[in-house]
């Protein structure tokens, strides 16, 4: 697969293969809940005639290759390899892919067990999460969509559902909820997704870490629901994403109480989120540019 061949692939078909279906079709315009972040109002548009996309919430757009390297967080060459993989062609047909109220409604969990599949171990390595850290909080989950069976890393939420991730799939099973880890302290660290939480834990791997409770939202749509729980703590460290949504909720918390809530994004201010920082930290500037290209 060459770059030019990848650009010619139909964007709508590609999104369907990832499990994303349009919420509205008007002429050549196909509207989606953005695959790049959580949202309630669809802001992601594909012009099927031009075969280009634009995310109005992020202010970003481009061709299929531009989307692929953002969605998979990989280089162009890695993305082209993913397109050659049969895994990327799997049709994850689920209407709940980006709706927190019924997300994953067509996903059936078959079994959970210790992480052992090589592609998942490789994926953890790519995200720079140490296996002992991952094993504390993740399971290898076998799940079914229609008559097909797949596997992914699974992070359990407080309602019993799972956030599911592998190199080519991002989704969740019902019921959708946040995850609270109670360590019996009055300090709390808040994250949008579980890879950012694992990145935080990885930072303190083989080191003494501060004693804190943890809240993984699993969707920013659960932020306000969890505000009472946050306010029960004396100090709340916010590790939200460096995007408009992350800024919005960080500012909302600071406006409520600047003494209680702390914006910790200064640690990864030049990166998309904490995991993006972890993946790139320690690389030379030349290596970082090469990886992003």
Q: Which two tokens stand for residue 7?
A: 């650009």
**At 55, is the secondary structure helix, strand, or coil?**
strand
Cα end-to-end distance, the chain, whole Å: 16
Identify whether the C-beta of residue 250 lies closer than 8 Å to the C-beta of residue 265: yes
- Please tell me the predicted confidence (pLDDT) of residue 284: 42
User: For 124-180, what is each residue's pLDDT tens digit?
Assistant: 999 999 999 999 999 999 988 777 788 899 999 999 999 999 887 788 888 889 999
What span, in angstroms and rounded, lies between the C-alpha atoms of 159 and 196? 20
- Please tell me the predicted confidence (pLDDT) of residue 41: 85
Which parts of the chain sit beneath pLDDT 70? 84-105, 282-293
- Please tell me the predicted confidence (pLDDT) of residue 88: 39
- Please tell me the predicted confidence (pLDDT) of residue 99: 35
DSSP characters over 64-81: HHHHHHHHTT--HHHHHH
- Please tell me the predicted confidence (pLDDT) of residue 111: 94
Q: What angle do CA 141, 144, 149 make, to 5 degrees?
A: 85
- Please tell me the predicted confidence (pLDDT) of residue 202: 94
DSSP characters over 82-151: HHHSGGGG-----TTTT-TTTTTTTEEEEEEE----HHHHHHHHHTT--HHHHHHHEEEEEEEETTEEEE
Residue written as tokens 């008007």?
Answer: 26
């Amino acid at each position: 697969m060459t770059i030019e061949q990848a650009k010619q692939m139909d964007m709508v078909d590609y999104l369907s293969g990832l499990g994303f279906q349009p919420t509205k079709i008007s002429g050549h315009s196909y509207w989606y809940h953005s695959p790049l972040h959580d949202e309630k109002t669809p802001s992601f548009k594909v012009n099927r005639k031009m075969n280009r996309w634009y995310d109005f919430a992020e202010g970003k757009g481009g061709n299929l290759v531009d989307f692929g390297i953002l969605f998979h967080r990989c280089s162009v060459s890695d993305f082209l390899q993913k397109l050659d993989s049969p895994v990327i062609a799997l049709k994850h047909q689920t209407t709940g892919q980006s709706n927190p109220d019924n997300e994953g409604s067509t996903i059936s969990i078959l079994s959970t067990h210790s992480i052992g599949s090589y592609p998942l171990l490789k994926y953890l390595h790519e995200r720079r999460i140490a296996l002992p850290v991952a094993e504390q909080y993740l399971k290898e989950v076998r799940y079914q969509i229609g008559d097909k069976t797949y596997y992914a890393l699974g992070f359990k939420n407080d309602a019993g559902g799972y956030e599911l991730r592998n190199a080519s799939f991002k989704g969740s099973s019902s019921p959708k909820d946040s995850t609270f880890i109670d360590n019996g302290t009055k300090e709390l660290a808040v994250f949008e997704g579980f890879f950012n939480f694992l990145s935080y834990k990885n930072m303190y791997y083989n080191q003494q870490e501060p004693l804190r409770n943890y809240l993984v939202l699993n969707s920013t749509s659960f932020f306000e629901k969890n505000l009472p729980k946050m306010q029960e703590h004396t100090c709340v460290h916010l590790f939200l994403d460096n995007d408009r949504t992350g800024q919005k909720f960080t500012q909302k918390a600071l406006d409520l109480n600047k003494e209680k809530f702390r914006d910790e994004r200064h640690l990864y201010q030049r990166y998309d989120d904490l995991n993006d920082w972890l993946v790139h930290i320690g690389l030379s500037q030349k290596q970082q540019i090469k990886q992003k290209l």
